Amino acid sequence: MKARVTVTLKTGVLDPQGKAIEGALKSLGIAGVGSVRQGKVFDIELDGADKAVAEEALKAACEKLLANTVIENYRVELQA
Amino acid sequence: MKARVTVTLKTGVLDPQGKAIEGALKSLGIAGVGSVRQGKVFDIELDGADKAVAEEALKAACEKLLANTVIENYRVELQA
Protein backbone atom coordinates (compact mmCIF):
# COMPACT_ATOMS: atom_id res chain seq x y z
CA MET A 1 0.00 0.00 0.00
CA LYS A 2 1.23 3.49 -0.79
CA ALA A 3 0.69 6.52 1.39
CA ARG A 4 1.57 10.17 1.25
CA VAL A 5 2.11 12.14 4.43
CA THR A 6 2.14 15.93 4.13
CA VAL A 7 3.58 17.99 6.98
CA THR A 8 2.95 21.75 6.98
CA LEU A 9 3.57 24.52 9.48
CA LYS A 10 0.57 25.59 11.54
CA THR A 11 -0.98 28.95 10.76
CA GLY A 12 0.73 31.70 12.72
CA VAL A 13 4.08 29.92 12.92
CA LEU A 14 6.76 32.00 11.22
CA ASP A 15 8.29 30.43 8.11
CA PRO A 16 11.60 32.13 7.27
CA GLN A 17 12.35 29.53 4.59
CA GLY A 18 9.08 30.32 2.84
CA LYS A 19 9.82 34.04 3.14
CA ALA A 20 13.22 33.51 1.51
CA ILE A 21 11.64 31.58 -1.37
CA GLU A 22 9.05 34.33 -1.76
CA GLY A 23 11.83 36.93 -2.01
CA ALA A 24 13.76 34.80 -4.49
CA LEU A 25 10.71 34.29 -6.72
CA LYS A 26 10.04 38.03 -6.73
CA SER A 27 13.62 38.87 -7.61
CA LEU A 28 13.46 36.29 -10.42
CA GLY A 29 10.55 38.26 -11.84
CA ILE A 30 7.82 35.67 -11.30
CA ALA A 31 4.67 37.80 -11.31
CA GLY A 32 1.79 37.63 -8.85
CA VAL A 33 3.40 35.67 -6.03
CA GLY A 34 1.86 36.57 -2.68
CA SER A 35 3.07 34.41 0.17
CA VAL A 36 4.94 31.10 0.17
CA ARG A 37 5.03 28.51 2.93
CA GLN A 38 7.15 25.39 2.76
CA GLY A 39 6.34 21.95 4.05
CA LYS A 40 7.52 18.37 3.70
CA VAL A 41 6.08 15.37 1.96
CA PHE A 42 6.82 11.70 2.65
CA ASP A 43 5.93 8.95 0.18
CA ILE A 44 5.76 5.77 2.20
CA GLU A 45 5.41 2.23 0.93
CA LEU A 46 3.67 -0.03 3.45
CA ASP A 47 3.44 -3.80 3.73
CA GLY A 48 0.00 -5.32 4.30
CA ALA A 49 -3.36 -4.42 2.82
CA ASP A 50 -5.37 -3.39 5.89
CA LYS A 51 -6.20 0.31 5.61
CA ALA A 52 -7.05 0.79 9.28
CA VAL A 53 -3.77 -0.79 10.42
CA ALA A 54 -1.80 1.29 7.91
CA GLU A 55 -3.48 4.51 9.01
CA GLU A 56 -2.74 3.70 12.65
CA ALA A 57 0.94 3.03 11.87
CA LEU A 58 1.25 6.24 9.88
CA LYS A 59 -0.36 8.29 12.61
CA ALA A 60 2.14 6.85 15.10
CA ALA A 61 4.97 7.63 12.67
CA CYS A 62 3.82 11.26 12.38
CA GLU A 63 3.41 11.75 16.11
CA LYS A 64 6.75 10.15 16.95
CA LEU A 65 9.02 11.23 14.12
CA LEU A 66 7.71 12.92 11.00
CA ALA A 67 5.97 15.96 12.44
CA ASN A 68 6.66 18.30 15.34
CA THR A 69 3.05 18.57 16.48
CA VAL A 70 3.75 21.72 18.50
CA ILE A 71 4.24 23.75 15.33
CA GLU A 72 3.23 21.43 12.49
CA ASN A 73 0.09 19.80 11.13
CA TYR A 74 0.17 16.52 9.26
CA ARG A 75 -2.16 14.85 6.81
CA VAL A 76 -2.15 11.17 5.89
CA GLU A 77 -3.49 10.03 2.50
CA LEU A 78 -3.67 6.35 1.61
CA GLN A 79 -3.42 5.63 -2.10
CA ALA A 80 -4.97 2.19 -2.55
CA MET B 1 -5.71 32.02 -5.62
CA LYS B 2 -3.99 29.25 -3.69
CA ALA B 3 -1.71 26.66 -5.18
CA ARG B 4 0.26 23.71 -3.93
CA VAL B 5 3.48 22.66 -5.64
CA THR B 6 4.85 19.21 -4.77
CA VAL B 7 8.46 18.42 -5.64
CA THR B 8 9.58 14.79 -5.44
CA LEU B 9 12.73 12.95 -6.45
CA LYS B 10 12.57 11.10 -9.77
CA THR B 11 12.43 7.32 -9.66
CA GLY B 12 15.90 5.86 -9.55
CA VAL B 13 17.48 8.85 -7.82
CA LEU B 14 18.96 7.80 -4.49
CA ASP B 15 17.28 9.34 -1.44
CA PRO B 16 19.55 9.03 1.61
CA GLN B 17 17.24 11.25 3.68
CA GLY B 18 14.32 8.92 2.98
CA LYS B 19 16.51 5.93 3.84
CA ALA B 20 17.43 7.51 7.17
CA ILE B 21 13.75 8.14 7.97
CA GLU B 22 12.96 4.55 7.03
CA GLY B 23 15.63 3.31 9.43
CA ALA B 24 14.40 5.60 12.19
CA LEU B 25 10.80 4.45 11.79
CA LYS B 26 11.88 0.82 11.94
CA SER B 27 13.95 1.38 15.06
CA LEU B 28 10.96 3.17 16.64
CA GLY B 29 8.99 -0.02 16.12
CA ILE B 30 6.52 1.29 13.55
CA ALA B 31 5.37 -1.90 11.85
CA GLY B 32 5.02 -2.51 8.14
CA VAL B 33 7.09 0.36 6.77
CA GLY B 34 8.62 -0.52 3.42
CA SER B 35 10.39 2.36 1.74
CA VAL B 36 10.25 6.09 2.42
CA ARG B 37 11.04 8.91 0.01
CA GLN B 38 11.03 12.52 1.02
CA GLY B 39 9.93 15.52 -1.02
CA LYS B 40 9.01 19.15 -0.57
CA VAL B 41 5.73 20.99 -0.71
CA PHE B 42 5.17 24.71 -1.31
CA ASP B 43 1.87 26.41 -0.50
CA ILE B 44 1.78 29.53 -2.63
CA GLU B 45 -0.71 32.37 -2.48
CA LEU B 46 -1.11 34.08 -5.84
CA ASP B 47 -2.60 37.42 -6.81
CA GLY B 48 -5.05 37.47 -9.70
CA ALA B 49 -7.81 35.08 -10.66
CA ASP B 50 -6.70 33.82 -14.08
CA LYS B 51 -5.92 30.10 -13.79
CA ALA B 52 -3.89 29.90 -17.00
CA VAL B 53 -1.69 32.84 -15.98
CA ALA B 54 -1.20 31.40 -12.51
CA GLU B 55 -0.26 27.99 -13.88
CA GLU B 56 2.25 29.59 -16.25
CA ALA B 57 3.83 31.56 -13.39
CA LEU B 58 4.06 28.48 -11.18
CA LYS B 59 5.63 26.44 -13.96
CA ALA B 60 8.26 29.15 -14.40
CA ALA B 61 8.83 29.21 -10.63
CA CYS B 62 9.37 25.44 -10.58
CA GLU B 63 11.73 25.43 -13.54
CA LYS B 64 13.78 28.37 -12.26
CA LEU B 65 13.83 27.85 -8.51
CA LEU B 66 11.65 25.30 -6.76
CA ALA B 67 12.69 22.08 -8.48
CA ASN B 68 15.97 20.73 -9.81
CA THR B 69 14.50 19.20 -12.95
CA VAL B 70 17.54 16.99 -13.51
CA ILE B 71 16.63 14.87 -10.49
CA GLU B 72 13.19 16.07 -9.41
CA ASN B 73 9.62 16.03 -10.69
CA TYR B 74 7.13 18.72 -9.80
CA ARG B 75 3.36 18.88 -9.74
CA VAL B 76 1.27 22.05 -9.63
CA GLU B 77 -2.24 21.97 -8.15
CA LEU B 78 -4.45 25.05 -8.20
CA GLN B 79 -6.98 25.19 -5.36
CA ALA B 80 -9.96 27.33 -6.46
Residue A41: closest CA among A5, A76, A2: A5
Predicted local distance difference test score (pLDDT) of residue A70? 97
Residue B38 confidence (pLDDT): 97
- Boundaries of every domain in chain A: 2-78
The Cα A67–Cα A42 span in angstroms is 11
Model pLDDT for residues B24-74, shown as the tens digit of each residue: 999 999 988 999 999 999 999 999 889 999 999 999 999 999 999 999 999
pLDDT at position A49 over 90: no
**CA–CA min distance B60, chain A (Å):** 7
Superfamily of domain B2-79, CATH level 4? Phosphoribosylformylglycinamidine synthase subunit PurS (3.30.1280.10)
Q: Which CATH class is domain A2-78?
A: alpha beta
Please write the tens of the pLDDT for every residue from A2-18: 999 999 999 999 999 99
DSSP code for B72: E
ipTM of this complex prediction, to 2 decimal places:
0.92
CA-nearest residue of chain A to B30?
A57
